[in-house]
Amino acid sequence: MGESSILESTQPETESYEKPFRIETIDAAETAPVLERLEAEDATLESVEILGPEEFKKGRSFKIQKRRREWLAARLAAKRLLNWRLQQEGIYLKPSQIQILNKENGAPSVVLEGGKIYDRCMISISHSRGTGVAAIAPPDCLIGVDLEAIEPRASSFLTIMAHDDEWSNAMDSDLTEQTRLWTLKEAVAKLLETGFTIGFHDVRFPLHGDERRLELHNKAAAAFERINSPVIHFDSFVQNDEVLSIAYTAGEPAHA
Ligand SMILES: CC(C)(COP(=O)(O)OP(=O)(O)OC[C@H]1O[C@@H](n2cnc3c(N)ncnc32)[C@H](O)[C@@H]1OP(=O)(O)O)[C@@H](O)C(=O)NCCC(=O)NCCS
């Protein structure tokens, strides 16, 4: 498989340029009332209110409460964004009429009441420590989002995750830098809709001076070509001991 390299800076853009995406974050406290209704022994679709039938079934099926909570938090975040997006098109639906299910590859899929797939936007989801985050991109744009706690990671994981070209002195001890690199890779794997069926080193962010730039190799390069090689931009934020990274395209002409 051929290699391809795209040179996009991961430095945050400072100008007041309006981003093409929107993000919504829902924490455990905001999720609690719906979670309580969902976990009630006599819960019904009607009593939970916010979920559609397939979501209700899935939400009730989690064995671990942490998973159920963060899955729900992300659904609430995504429904808020979709409600906003659909209203722009003059479509007014209740949250239970907008379901966020998953495609076979795991990527989110928006299904409206009646079973119609809504594909005039791309949604990406991440969860961490009970918080759910969703990001939405307009038609013709792609997006991937990842939220991870800044915490120590095993050196065995770091050496597998990071390629030699991505290693810097900061990577030895800076937990924020380690987390940022991981979230950037996950965000790209979601934008490409491959997840980590591709190798960790297939999405690579070598250092160029102070900044990292994206290189795609092997299966990631092939997936990038399948989506017509768009320019990919990045944002990373640190908030509440977590890193949130977003990879997105902005509808610009593709790389040559
Ligand atoms: C996609 C992936 C990187 C997600 O990372 P994660 O750290 O587990 O979890 P996050 O909370 O950041 O993201 C989870 C969300 O990613 C999204 N997602 C899953 N697969 C995706 C894909 N192929 N493309 C885009 N998004 C995907 C889902 O929306 C999921 O949330 P949901 O289940 O509530 O809908 C990871 O699940 C993966 O690599 N999957 C592919 C390989 C695989 O299936 N391995 C088996 C498990 S090890």
The CATH number for 160's domain is 3.90.470.20
Same domain, 146 and 256: yes
Helix axes 53-61, 28-39, angle to 10 degrees: 90
How many whole angstroms from 190 Cα to the centroid of ligand 1? 7
Same domain, 201 and 92: no
How many distinct structural domains can be found in the chain? 2
Closest CA to 212 of 252, 148, 163: 163
Sole residue written with tokens 């706690």: 149
d(C-alpha 139, C-alpha 120), whole Å: 5
pLDDT at 17: 65
Mean pLDDT of the chain, nearest integer: 92
Same domain, 119 and 191: no
Share of the chain above pLDDT 90, in %: 86
Same domain, 107 and 119: yes
Confidence of residue 10 (pLDDT cuts 50, 70, 90): low
Query: 236 lies in which domain range?
Result: 1-21+141-256
Same domain, 133 and 165: no
* Protein residue with its CA nearest to atom 35 in ligand 1: 108
Per-residue pLDDT reduced to its tens digit, 177-235: 999 999 999 999 999 999 999 999 999 999 988 889 999 999 999 999 999 999 999 99
Domain final position from 99, 118, 137: 137
Same domain, 199 and 108: no
Same domain, 87 and 5: no
Confidence of residue 5 (pLDDT cuts 50, 70, 90): very low
Per-residue pLDDT reduced to its tens digit, 90-127: 999 999 999 999 999 999 999 999 999 999 999 999 99
Same domain, 216 and 152: yes
What mean pLDDT comes out for the span 132-147? Answer: 96
Classify the C-alpha dihedral 180-13-139-116 as positive or negative. Answer: positive
d(C-alpha 68, C-alpha 184), whole Å: 25
Residue 145 pLDDT greater than 80, yes or no: yes
Residues with Cβ < 8 Å from 220, sequence gap 6 or more? 188, 189, 192, 194, 198, 199, 202, 203
Strands 22-26 and 98-102: unpaired
d(C-alpha 184, C-alpha 48), whole Å: 35
Per-residue pLDDT reduced to its tens digit, 234-247: 999 998 899 999 99
Same domain, 208 and 115: no
Pocket of ligand 1 (CB under 6 A): 71, 74, 102, 105-108, 125-127, 146, 186, 189-190, 193-197
Tell me the CA distances in angstroms from 238 to 81, 89, 91, one per residue in order.
Answer: 22, 33, 35
Same domain, 145 and 104: no
Same domain, 13 and 2: yes
**Best probe residue, ligand 1, of 186, 242, 246 (max atoms within 8 Å of C-beta):** 186
How many whole angstroms from 106 Cα to the centroid of ligand 1? 6
